[in-house]
Structure 1
């Protein structure tokens, strides 16, 4: 019996801003964004797309009527919570029409929470062969206009169906977590934007990776040549590359270095055109690896590093399942990214301010959405009302 990822899908809003144009508007050398942090485009979230609608949109295309009867738990991982009491999983459960006798919870630890959600689902399903757990990572990364973190914003959601005998990735029983109390990135209650110590954040990320990786290697007597590729939490694509480079030391053979470096490029291709989606970033990277790396084979082991500021890191692994590509929506994901609408920096700023002020402009923001998409229609008396586009 194995447990792992049976289906995986992502959703991003239908708008993006070109990072070179954003750099020019901010009077910054475009290469600082394109090369320095490794980002080409940044997904822009309209007011009509929040963590609930994006999460439901990511999940709706991988859920069948039979799945709705078998899902016994829905977990949403987010650091963009819209309520301090009610779990967004409850609203997503309703939108998707999942059977009523299901647990619904929300989990938080910065960008890390989707990983313990998966581990919880894995343990829960060990003795429940006929049940499924839906794990959703959904976030909008916002740092403020013209802030230092602005070029590392983004928005999107990843949905994963966790089951026994999965069709995509079998999860191994080898996770190692590392926790350290550090104020590298945090958002006090009531604060619209996070507080960030940029230099400390980079150092804390790399330190967490090295600690969890070294302990993983020590416990399991495993070296880097065991892995076909590695996936990282990717707030921006250069961040994970710095962590990878930190362990590709002189004693690592060139073949392993080339294989892991090539794999990293494939694993961050989608992220380069979406930006930071917090809890979903690692799993968007996993999708990117599975769909754009052309030398993966059944039985290959993939290492994954999950990180959440504050901080918790975790290194774990999974084994690729025979026929995994048949369970992926490669063309659908390419179409989603390729058919988005580029908006000007001025329009992006208008979107950003509407989001801050809870102001809707459906005529503009729904103009290019697909039929059947969930969206936030209105907010009355602090109650969020969702609808689907006909």
Structure 2
């Protein structure tokens, strides 16, 4: 039975800071950010956008196109959880008015959370082929103002509908996984910003990629030339470029050119949104699907990485007519209609977002009509409203 990704929706908040402006404010050469890191713009979440509201908005991108009565599972992957006990998926389920019988829970392993949810959803649909599963990755990446990791911040969410006979990608059985208990990146409960050893994390990412990619090819009897494209977890696009260079070492010229071109296609959205943690690989996948000129049957490799650390390599094949399930114009408009912030404006919003809102004080949003937002806390209960 064919199981895979039937719908993809993404969302990012309505504000951004330009990397050239940020570089000038930090007395850096803009090319350090544009080329050395590989980022152009960075989405900024104000206090009214959190992991839950972004997850709702990402799912709303396709919810009216599907049979909602068939949804049997909702998984929320995040490392920006809004509650130590209650799953973000329950807030999403309520906003979408899904059936009470839908299973709903949250998973966490740094940026690996959406992939973990996808694998669970794939198994669920194989056992329940008449049902579908919604899997969401939603996060806000925060390292702090004027820190080494500042340029690799961002905010956004990607939502996937997993079904039998999918219309976008057919997931292949099997995977290569690798994990170790290390400290390359983490965020303690007491901290609003992440702790990271950037150089170490990049090296671990590359080591885990080499291990899982070579092991997957060995398992499946594949060669690098068999892949039409490889999509990577992209906390910043230069990291994925380094992995792609490892992937194409020693290959023929045609394979080299194809995988470099596909990487360029896959990084466009991430370069303009920034780091969205759990959703980063799948934003890269969406960018590849929209810009990569893929054809039916093409084999795509996917590399997922979550610090701490967990990595997995798996693959999927493109479904004929996948283009009909995408809305590139609307995806581009979501970016184009954001408001550019000055660096002082960005710093003010960032600082305000680190402070929990006062109880029983309602927040108002300047998001577009029809979008959900976090409206504050009433009697210690989080409130979500639609604009």
Aligned partners of 1:48 and 1:362 also within 8 Å: no
Q: How does 1:212-223 map to 2 (within 5 A)?
A: 212-223=212-223
Q: How does 1:232-311 map to 2 (within 5 A)?
A: 232-249=232-249, 251-294=250-293, 296-311=294-309
1:331, CA displacement in angstroms? Answer: 1.2
Aligned partners of 2:10 and 2:61 also within 8 Å: no
1:288, CA displacement in angstroms? Answer: 0.2
SS at match of 2:262: helix
- Find runs of 4+ consecutive structure 1 residues off by over 4 angstroms: 359-363
- Residue 318 of structure 1 corresponds to 316
SS at match of 2:67: helix
- Residue 92 of structure 1 corresponds to 92
Aligned partners of 2:362 and 2:377 also within 8 Å: no
SS at match of 2:63: coil
Deviations 1:43-95 (A, max 9, x none): 00011110110000000121138632111110010011111111000110001
1:305, CA displacement in angstroms? Answer: 0.1
Deviations 1:242-265 (A, max 9, x none): 01112322x311110110000000
Aligned partners of 2:6 and 2:163 also within 8 Å: yes
- Residue 352 of structure 1 corresponds to 350
1:194, CA displacement in angstroms? Answer: 1.5
1:329, CA displacement in angstroms? Answer: 1.4
- Residue 132 of structure 2 corresponds to 132
Structure 2 residues without counterparts, runs of 5 or longer = none
Aligned partners of 1:4 and 1:166 also within 8 Å: yes
TM-score (norm 1): 0.96
Distance 1:61 1:248, change over 3 A: closer
1:182, CA displacement in angstroms? Answer: 1.3
Q: Distance in 1 between matches of 2:245 and 2:186?
A: 26
SS at match of 2:354: helix
- Residue 3 of structure 1 corresponds to 3
Q: Distance in 1 between matches of 2:65 and 2:8?
A: 17
Q: How does 1:47-62 map to 2 (within 5 A)?
A: 47-62=47-62
The count of residues paired between Structure 1 and Structure 2 equals 385
TM-score (norm 2): 0.97
Structure 1 residues without counterparts, runs of 5 or longer = none
1:362, CA displacement in angstroms? Answer: 8.8
Aligned partners of 1:75 and 1:117 also within 8 Å: yes
Q: Distance in 1 between matches of 2:67 and 2:45?
A: 29
